[in-house]
Chains A and B, each alone.
Chain A
Amino acid sequence: NAGVTQTPKFRVLKTGQSMTLLCAQDMNHEYMYWYRQDPGMGLRLIHYSVGEGTTAKGEVPDGYNVSRLKKQNFLLGLESAAPSQTSVYFCASSYLLREQYFGPGTRLTVT
């Protein structure tokens, strides 16, 4: 079991560029989440999904889009990156509303 994996691990973007972060889980979890972690602010929820084909906004959704075309994958897109999106991004999954399992994170820098 690989658990939750994230691709890529690191990325540097210039302002205005776009990119997609991929999250994959092999635990057959229905629920998946994208968070960002910034110093002193804990984790903030960007978007989440409660099943294939469904997505919902979290606490800080602006500037991000997501898609859940397959149950095991949850994609996070940045259409036009801004320096304020420099952060560490974590994906997580859970069996319904039980404890969440996290991926190793993607460190994104926008210059």
Chain B
Amino acid sequence: AQSVAQPEDQVNVAEGNPLTVKCTYSVSGNPYLFWYVQYPNRGLQFLLKYITGDNLVKGSYGFEAEFNKSQTSFHLKKPSALVSDSALYFCAVREGSARQLTFGSGTQLTVLP
């Protein structure tokens, strides 16, 4: 069975500071990992994914994520946060050729001016 956890419901960070949104996962085989962002009253938007290869994945809007197999984590990062980054962030995992994607419960990121 596949599962994903986002241990923080809320993350606050000052504008210009680095941000990290945490995600850990559990799968039996190889993980396929995704980050999505949701702005108020909108659908989810794809940010980045890890399939295989380099453990540091770069995505949209300056976001990146680091895949750590030994810690089963896939934390989302950005070197310098913007107020416009404030949104709800979801981590998701799929195991191998599984057709279903499992989402975490989401982390509300607030960037303070």
Contact = CB atoms under 8 A, between A and B. Distances in A.
Interface of A: 4, 31, 33, 40-45, 48, 50, 56, 58-59, 90, 92, 97, 99-105
Contact of B90 (A43, A45, A50, A97): A43
Contacts of B32: 97
Contacts of A104: 42-43
Interface string B90-105: 1000100101110111
A71 B41 CA distance: 27
A101 B90 contact: no
Given A43-B90, A90-B44, A102-B45, A97 B99 contact: yes
B34 interface: yes
Contacts of A105: 41-43
Contacts, number: 49
A19 B12 CA distance: 40
B53 to A, nearest CB: 15
Interface of B: 9, 32, 34, 36, 41-46, 49, 90, 94, 97, 99-101, 103-106
A100 B44 CA distance: 9
A33 B43 CA distance: 13
Contacts of B34: 99
A25 to B, nearest CB: 12
A41 B103 CA distance: 9
A41 B90 CA distance: 11
Nearest to A43: B103
B90 A102 contact: no
A90 B41 CA distance: 11
A58 B90 CA distance: 19
Contacts of B103: 42-44
B43 to A, nearest CB: 4
A102 B100 contact: no
Nearest to B48: A99
Given A42-B90, A42-B104, A97-B94, A48 B44 contact: no
Contacts of B45: 102
